[in-house]
Amino acid sequence: MRLYLSKIIPLVGSLIIFAPPDAIANTYAKTYNQYMGTASTGESVTLISVKTQIRGGYGSWVKYKIGQDIVETGIVCPDKYTPRGYFTDQGTRYPQSAATKKVLAIACAYENSIVNKR
C-alpha cells in the first residue's frame, strides 16, 4: 500500500486545475451586532452578520443569536416567485416573531443591494 501511495502523491501534488473566471465566488459580508427585539420564545434576538456569495447565481446566509444560541442559516428572499421570505435551516422555516422578521428583512435588503449592483 505504501508503494501505491508514494506513486500517487507526486502526481496529485503537480495537478493544476484552471477554473473559468465565473467559477470564482465573490463574497460580500457585513457585520451588524444589532439588537432586533424579542423572539416568540421570549429571548432576545441579535443580528450578527449577513453574507452574500455570487458565483453564476447567488446565495445568502445570516448569522444571528436567540438567547444564548447562535443560528447560522441560509435565506430565501421574497420575489415574484416566492411571496414570503424564509430561513432554510430545518427545511423551510418562516420567521415567528417581529424580531426574526426584522433579521430576514435586513438580510434580504443587504442581498438586494449586492445583487443589484452587478
List pLDDT tens digits, range 37-76: 999 999 999 999 999 999 888 999 999 999 999 999 999 9
Between 21 and 65, where is the model more confident?
65
Q: C-alpha angle with apex 113: 108 to 35, nearest 5 degrees?
A: 50
Q: What is the mean pLDDT of residues 23-36?
A: 91
pTM score of the predicted model? 0.78
- Percentage with pLDDT > 70 across the chain: 80
Coil vs helix vs strand at 1: coil
